[in-house]
Amino acid sequence: MPIVALPEIQEAASRIAGNVRRTPVELSHSLSDRAGVPVYLKLEHRQITGAFKLRGATNAVLSLSAADRARGVACASTGNHGRALAHAASNLGIRCIVCMSKLVPENKRDAIAALGAEARIVGKSQDEAQREVDRLVAEEGFTDIPPFDHRAIVAGQGTIGLEMLDDVPEAETILVPLSGGGLIAGIAAAVKGRKPDARVIGISMERGAAMQASLSAGRPVEVEELPTLADSLGGGIGLANSWTFEAVRDLVDEVVLLSEAEIAAGIRHAYFEEREIVEGGAAVGIAALLAGKVRPQGPVVTLLSGRNIAMDLHRSVVNGADSLEAPR
Ligand SMILES: *Cc1c(COP(=O)(O)O)cnc(C)c1O
């Protein structure tokens, strides 16, 4: 039984319309030529805040009761989820505290503050930052909005699947970056709810693919987190995972893993052939096609999920670097 089904995703779509961008889909001529089938790109990296996470965050915040909204929201992410929650909350006039450790660079703190959230600096690790979130929840009535393992987050991300099929109704293969699985759980529920025979394929990096390791083990497991070009796909799925593990196990047809060099090639292809700047985690669909690790059946839609890559890293990859360790 899918955790989130089509009606909940359709409700999310009407709830968040007007607060998020409806992003375009475009045909990629170069990828279509190589694959021998039409390949479309869902240009979600052009979403406000530079990544799709604004959809889930906006849906989660709008789903709170008036009383909960009045007390505020919190999270410990300084990545794309933190940016999204900060923007969604400030857009809706809700107090938001993003907790982070002293080790988080000042430009990241400033970026969160610029989005209208309070950047609270606590301790020396992500765990200590999360403890401050837990304290805000227990003592001050804040609501913790997590990055993926949450119904409203899954439903919000699923709105991407509705738009993909609205724009490419003939799509048969959907390629989605995979980390904690909120994104692919929502998209797969939306796509299969409308088109049960369409295939949904998740793509992660070889270096620290927590969902794939958990699927093989048959339960959520931890993996060592390693530096990767696809930094937004890093991190675990949570040993106490409630929603996304089962959804991915039940709905996703296949998971593909990529090397750093393959991800780098995806970033370069996006730049030189599609003229798009994307982060490593967003280039994996393109990369899997280029590497021949996905055999597309019928028209393909591949999701470009974000563009928040450090521009000096982007420059070095575009100049030929194949990993984080090999700047050019
Ligand atoms: C978070 C993120 C993902 C993965 O989403 P999950 O819901 O964790 O699977 C993919 N791409 C980008 C750019 C992200 O920020």
The band of 126, judged by pLDDT with boundaries at 50, 70 and 90, is: confident
What is residue 78's predicted lDDT score, i.e. its pLDDT? 82
2 lines ligand 1 (CB under 6 A): no
What mean pLDDT is reported for the chain? 95
CA 178 / ligand 1 centre spacing (Å): 6
Radius of gyration of the chain (CA): 19
Q: What is the pLDDT of residues 13-39, one digit of tens each?
A: 999 999 999 999 999 999 999 999 999
234 lines ligand 1 (CB under 6 A): no
Q: Which residues contact 213 (CB under 8 A, 6 or more apart)?
A: 221, 223
What is residue 55's predicted lDDT score, i.e. its pLDDT? 98
Closest C-alpha to 244, from 193, 187, 191, 181: 181
How far apart, in whole angstroms, are the C-alpha atoms of residue 174 and residue 39?
10
- Average pLDDT rounded to a whole number, residues 261-283: 98
- Average pLDDT rounded to a whole number, residues 299-327: 93
83 lines ligand 1 (CB under 6 A): no
235 lines ligand 1 (CB under 6 A): no
- Tokens coding 79: 């990545």
212 lines ligand 1 (CB under 6 A): no
Contact 236, 226 (CB under 8 A): no
- Average pLDDT rounded to a whole number, residues 99-111: 87
- Tokens coding 144: 């913790």
Q: What is the pLDDT of residues 158-178, one digit of tens each?
A: 999 999 999 999 999 999 999
**What DSSP state is assigned to residue 143?**
E
pLDDT exceeds cutoff 70 at 100? yes
The band of 263, judged by pLDDT with boundaries at 50, 70 and 90, is: very high
pLDDT exceeds cutoff 60 at 2? no
pLDDT exceeds cutoff 90 at 297? no
Q: Residue 297: how many CB atoms within 10 A of its CB?
A: 12
**Percent of the residues in the chain that have a pLDDT greater than 90, as a whole number:** 90
CA 139 / ligand 1 centre spacing (Å): 30
